[in-house]
Amino acid sequence: MLTHWRAFLRRADAAYIILALVLLALGAALRLYDLTDQPIDFHPTRQLRGAIVARGIYYQFLPGADETTRQQAAAFWASTGQYEPSILEGLMALTYLAIGREFFWVGRIYNTLFWLMGGFAVLALARRVVAAQPSGDTQDRTMAVAWLCALAALAYNMALPFGVQASRSLQPDPGMAAWLALSALALYRWSETRSWRWVLIGGVVSGMAVLTKAIAVYSAAGMMIALALYSFRKPEQPVSGAAARMLVSPQLWALAALTLLPTAIYYLSRQGRAAEYFTSWTLALSHLLLEPRFYLSWLNMIQKLLNPLALLMAFVGLLLARRRNQALLWGWWAGYVVYGLFLPYQMTTHNYYHLQLVPLTALSMTPAFEAGLRFLLRQKMIWRWAASGGVLAVVIWMSWQALVPLYRENYRNEPVYWQTIASYLPGDGKIVALTQDYGYRLMYYGWRKVTLWPNRGEIKLSDLRGSSKEFEQYFAKRIQDKSYFLITAFKQFEDQPELKQMLYEHYSILAQGQGYLIFDLTQKKP
C-alpha cells in the first residue's frame, strides 16, 4: 500500500494536490463554522437524540458520578429508543471521558472527519475512472483531465449547502454516506483486480456503512451486484451466465458475509426491533407507493437538495459513463431507489435520508465534467479562463449559501431557556406535554422527562397508517394519571383546535410565561 501511495505522489502534479487539500480544508471549515452553537440548526430532534445518548454513555462510565444523575441520564438514553449502533455517540462519550467534560460539538468534529474521509474516496475514484479510460490523448493530458474532473467532483461534495448542513449534524448519516463512498472506491478496485485484498477492504468498509445505519445495505448491495455482473459476464453471453458464476464465487460470498454479518449479529440481539421497524415504516405505509404524488414529492425533494442542474448533469453522466463506471453508478442509484421504496414516508419528509446522494451525484457528474472539459480544451484560452472563473464563482456561491443559515441563526440561549422552563414545572405529579422535538430539548437542557402529546406530524402519520383515534377517548386515555399539561409548542397548539378547546374550557391555568403554559389536570372546571 505504501509503495502505491509513493507512486501516486510521484505521478501527481503538486498543484493538483494543493488544490485538493484546499477543497478538503474548505469542506472542513464550512462544517466547523459556528462549532459550539447548540445542535438545533438541522433536524434538532435527531441531533438532540444523539446528544442524549452520548450523555447516557458518558455517565455510565464516568468514575465518581452522582448515582442519581447517572440513573437519570441512563433513563433518558433508554427512552430515545435505539435503531442502530451508537457509534458516533460512543465516540463522543469516549472523548467526554478523555477531556473530562461534556461538549456535544465533538460530534460535529467526528462527522466532519468522516465526511473528509468520504471526500477523499470521491476524489480518488473520480480521478481513477477518468484516467483509466483510453482517450487518445497524451499521458499528461489524460492525467490533467482526470485531476480536474476529480477536483470538480470533490468541490461539489465539499461545498453543496445541503451536504454541509447535513454532514455536520449529530446523527449517523454522515458516517454512513462516507463509508458508502469508500465502499464504492473499494468495490470498483475489486472489480478491476479481483484480488482478495480488495475483497477484504471492500467487505470491511461496506460492513461499516451498513453497521452505521442499516439502510445502507440497499446501496452497498446495489453496487456489489452491478459490479459483479459486469465483472463475471463474458462477451456475447447472457446475464444468466454471469449470475451463475456469481453464485459460486468465494470472493462474492466473502464480500457479502463481511458486509452483512456485523449488522445481522447486532440486530438479532435487538429482540424484534428490526421487524417492528419494518412493520411500522414499510408495511403500514406501502400504500403511498400507489400514489403518483409520492414520486413527484420525492423528485422535488432531491432536486431542491442537490440542485436541478447538478441532477441533470448526473443523469447525462450516467449515460456517458464507461461500462465499469456505469455499472457502479447505476448499481448505487438502483440501491438508493429500492431503499426509498421501502421507506416511502421518509423520502418526502426527512431530507437527511438523501445524504448519500451527495457523493453519488458528485461521482455521477464526473463523465459530464470530462466531456465538457475535453470540449473546452479544444477552445481558445479565453474560454478556458472564463470556465475556470465560472467554476470558482459556483464554489464560492455554494460555500456562502452553506454558511448563511449558520450565520443568521443563533441558538446559544436554548440551554438557559429550557432550564428556566424546567424550573417552573411542578414536581408533585406527572406531566403530559405538547413540546418541541419529542421533549428532547426539555430532556437535554432541563433534565426533565414528560409524556408526549402527539404533534401534527404524528397525527398525520397515524392517519396514513389508518390508525386515527376519536379525540375525547384518546385525550382521556393520554392524561390518565397525569397532573399537569405543559404547552411549549404554540404553533402546534394552534393547529389542534380540539385540544385547545378542551384545555381552556375544562382546566385552569396553573402557570404561564414566555414560551410556556401549564394547565392543572387534577381538577376540572365546574
**pLDDT per residue over 162-186, tens digit each?**
999 999 999 999 999 999 999 999 9
Res 173: pLDDT: 97
Res 458: pLDDT: 73
- Residue found by looking up cell 509513493 in the block: 6
pLDDT (mean) for 369-394: 90
Cα distances from 164 to residues 28, 92, 185, 212, 301, in angstroms, run 9, 20, 22, 19, 17
In this structure, how many other beta carbons lie within 10 angstroms of the beta carbon of residue 462? 15
Res 514: pLDDT: 86
DSSP H/E element including 324: helix 323-342
- Whether residue 242 is predicted with pLDDT greater than 80 in this model: the reply is no
Res 197: pLDDT: 96
The residue among 463, 433, 465 whose CA lies nearest residue 448 is 433
Backbone angles phi, psi at 165, to 5 degrees: -65, -40
For 138, the 3-state DSSP assignment is coil
Band the pLDDT of 245: cuts 50, 70, 90. confident
The grid coordinates of residue 427 equal 414536581
Q: What would the 3-class secondary structure string for 365-381 be? A: HHHHHHHHHHHHCCCCH
* Residue of higher predicted confidence among 264 and 272: 264
Res 240: pLDDT: 72
- Whether residue 135 is predicted with pLDDT greater than 70 in this model: the reply is no
Percent of the chain with pLDDT over 90: 72
Report DSSP state, residue 171: S
- Whether residue 134 is predicted with pLDDT greater than 90 in this model: the reply is no
pLDDT tens-digit series, residues 175-225: 999 999 999 999 999 999 999 999 999 999 999 999 999 999 999 999 999
| Cβ atoms of residues 151 and 298 within 8 Å | no
Report DSSP state, residue 34: T
Res 377: pLDDT: 84
Res 274: pLDDT: 60
The DSSP secondary structure of 425-482, one letter per residue, reads S-SSS-EEEE-GGGGHHHHHHH----EEPP-HHHHHHHHHTT----HHHHHHHHTTT-
Res 456: pLDDT: 79
* Backbone CA torsion sign across 320, 324, 325, 327: positive
- Residue found by looking up cell 480544508 in the block: 25
Res 261: pLDDT: 95
Q: Angle, to 10 degrees, between the axis of helix 106-131 and the axis of helix 173-193? A: 30
- Whether residue 439 is predicted with pLDDT greater than 70 in this model: the reply is yes
